[in-house]
Structure 1
Amino acid sequence: MNVNQRIQSVDILRGITIVGMILVNNPGDWSHIYAPLSHAEWHGLTPTDLIFPFFLFIVGISIFYAYKSKQPNASTYKKLGLRSLKLIGLGLVLKAFTPLFPFVQDWEHIRFMGVLQRIGIVFFVTAVLYLNCNWKMLLGVAVTILLGYWLLLGFVPLPNGMAPTFDRASNNWSNYIDLQILGTHMWQPDYDPEGVLGTVSAIATCILGVLVGKLLDTPLKSKTKILFLTGVILLTLGYFWNAYFPINKALWSSSFVLVTAGYGTVILAVIYYIVDVKQWHFGAVFKQVGMNAITIYFLSEFIAKSFYLIPVGADANVHSWLYNTFFSFDGLVAKLSSLCYALVIVLIYVGLGTYLFKKNIFIKV
């Protein structure tokens, strides 16, 4: 889409999401974080747990607009595949890179999955489905994924005969599959938050984004109300399902998909009403960040990882030196110091997003 023809609320929500990602990923001290800025221990939901599903939800909306006039042919599939591979490649670079010689981690320490890898896989599968299915078929695929995931994790015995569980344990199907496929290349030995089965479930999140994109594209005058009602329905279904399949980001449970898509739809409806219907000035800075979302996210992760790995003196690194020198003081609450560090990092990348936007630089991945 031309920059001037874009739906402003979608870009603003994307920008808010990226800002949220940078905020929660860059505390000054991981031991001192305010509860809303940390993930749930296992089951449950915090504001931080909304960030990644919001981004995949927005990817789905973007797929609807970017490919609604495209044909399912070799040329389109080639472009989809290349974009997906770029995202996966960037994700692998983040996992394998080290700022010190030989600049690549040992093979056994490289984590295969990650945020960008999941985005790349989910984007490709959802876009292919969108090109070949009508909205009813897409809804059917999403429902099948969510029901199938619940039935597998909750009722199908593991190959060793153990009863399945939703807990963080060896007899959890998600962990079992990750161990078989990823082996030691996981975030933790007992689970990976971007694991294999969770990535399949995340496709449903993206499909719901496609369907919400279709709602946004309708000429109905009551569009805002329909969006809001859709969000409330998703929330109701998700919280009801929570009693049987707990809301869990690490598993990307079916209830988690519905609840996060519900919150995303409700928030989008509010922003849509303010910006696209009433045309009030709101969130311009978030729109500017959202126009280069992947680039800004990649840079933030690349630099943050480098800061943690580049030593300063005998027992510090760039990150700890900056934090202890400029943010950590006697008498100042540790959590507040940690938050201030994160906010400064956010301001730096917001400034970068604003600069790129004003220079009309939009880096596509």
Structure 2
Amino acid sequence: MKERILSVDIFRGMTIVLMILVNTPGTWSDVYAPLLHAKWHGYTPTDLVFPFFLFIVGTSIVFAYNNRKPSKQVYKKITIRTLKLIGLGVFLGAFTITFPFIKEFSDIRFPGVLQRIGVVFFFAAILFLNLDWKKLIGTAAIMLVGYWLMMRFIPVEGVASTFERAPNNLANYLDVKVFGTHNYKPDYDPEGLLSTIPSIVSALLGIFTGLILVSKQSKKATILFGLGGSFLILGYLWDVIFPINKALWTSSFVLVTAGWANIVLALIYYLTDVKKIKFGSIFRYAGANAIVVYFLSSFISKLFYLIKVDGETSLHGWLFNTIYVQDFFSMQLSSLLYGLSVVAFYCLLAWILWKKKIFIKV
């Protein structure tokens, strides 16, 4: 049986829990600022959550495939898992509660969180199986620099490209041209086509961290802290000419988020794997069935919005207004308490699955 690194399991579960929290407030009209995405350039704690998950996808690839050789069987397993993730994501985007339970084709969103996880996993796993660590570093650098060059220098219909949310933003332009009405917004998608390139690098940087964790280095926590700090410095330097932006998944965003991911993971690793301090077990439970917990939370949340009480108010809205909206709470606190209640439910579910030794692989 492969040795588990506790900090990786805790980090993965913590990320899933945060993903659920930021996705399920009581009302989007009243949310504390750190639990919202940045409006465009810059980042908030919420903007760290998804890149953290892609980062840990890369780290997990090392544990799964470190001593395996490329083969048809391995490629088949990688492809099947990729298709499952993409299929689940498309299902979430297409499902509705009215017969025939599928939205009109023009209303179905093709990109999405699970779709991006699937695509990133596929390419990161294939690259890891076929390249040594030096070539992986070179590949990651080429992808980040190439993405910046495309976004900076390729004009859009004769107009100089911009990093702003505008028709002449190359990433936004391609998303509209390729996906049309199937985008998250009419003018862009945060899980769009071109921005998938640097998102793969988020996983590749997680692979480098995974290689450090399985190595014979004696001071792994120190190395991860140093690596994280270096990524932060590089990311902020690049921010001067290529702004940190989650929606575009800019190269500076990749480096900054990987920097924070290494620092957070290093801290957890030092406390749990080095000092043997026991904490964060609930996150470990969530991490053991991460994709299943995330999918269920997204699906049930969607149901709560679609199911109507008295034909008008959504079940989500009814629960929030009936239980959580109180005179002695601010609306922001009420909204947060709703989200925390949802998180508590899925943590309980994850604990039950763990205790029953049910681990659902996707």
> Which bin holds the TM-score, normalised by the shorter protein?
over 0.9
Q: How does 1:92-241 map to 2 (within 5 A)?
A: 92-158=90-156, 160-241=157-238
Q: What is the deviation of 1:314?
A: 3.2
* TM-score for the superposition, normalised by structure 2: 0.99
Give the distance between the partners of 1:344 and 1:24, measured in 2 at CA: 12
Q: Which residue of the partner structure matches residue 345 of structure 1?
A: 342
Q: What is the deviation of 1:311?
A: 1.0
Establish whether residue 242 from structure 1 lines up as the match of residue 262 from structure 2: no
Give the distance between the partners of 1:71 and 1:59, measured in 2 at CA: 19
Give the distance between the partners of 1:357 and 1:93, measured in 2 at CA: 26
Give the distance between the partners of 1:255 and 1:325, measured in 2 at CA: 43
Work out whether residues 99 and 309 of structure 1, in 8 Å CA contact, stay in contact via their aligned partners in 2: yes
* TM-score for the superposition, normalised by structure 1: 0.98
Q: Percent identity?
A: 56
Unaligned runs of 5+ residues in structure 2 are none
Give the distance between the partners of 1:224 and 1:27, measured in 2 at CA: 34
SS in 2 for 1:193: coil
SS in 1 for 2:180: coil
SS in 1 for 2:308: coil
Work out whether residues 100 and 310 of structure 1, in 8 Å CA contact, stay in contact via their aligned partners in 2: no
Q: Which residue of the partner structure matches residue 302 of structure 1?
A: 299
Give the distance between the partners of 1:99 and 1:302, measured in 2 at CA: 11
Q: Which residue of the partner structure matches residue 321 of structure 1?
A: 318
Give the distance between the partners of 1:268 and 1:153, measured in 2 at CA: 31
Establish whether residue 264 from structure 1 lines up as the match of residue 290 from structure 2: no
Give the distance between the partners of 2:242 and 2:228, measured in 1 at CA: 20
SS in 2 for 1:330: coil
Count the aligned residue pairs: 362
1:197-241 CA distance string (max 9 Å, x none): 111110010000011100111111111111110000000000111
Amino acid in the other structure paired with 1:249: K
Give the distance between the partners of 1:77 and 1:228, measured in 2 at CA: 34
Give the distance between the partners of 2:330 and 2:247, measured in 1 at CA: 30
Give the distance between the partners of 2:178 and 2:197, measured in 1 at CA: 14
Q: CA-atom RMSD, angstroms? A: 0.8
1:58-78 CA distance string (max 9 Å, x none): 000000110112111111111
Q: Which residue of the partner structure matches residue 84 of structure 1?
A: 82
Amino acid in the other structure paired with 1:330: D
Task: Give the ranges of 4+ consecutive aligned residues of structure 1 lying more than 4 Å apart after TM superposition.
Answer: none
Q: What is the deviation of 1:30?
A: 0.4
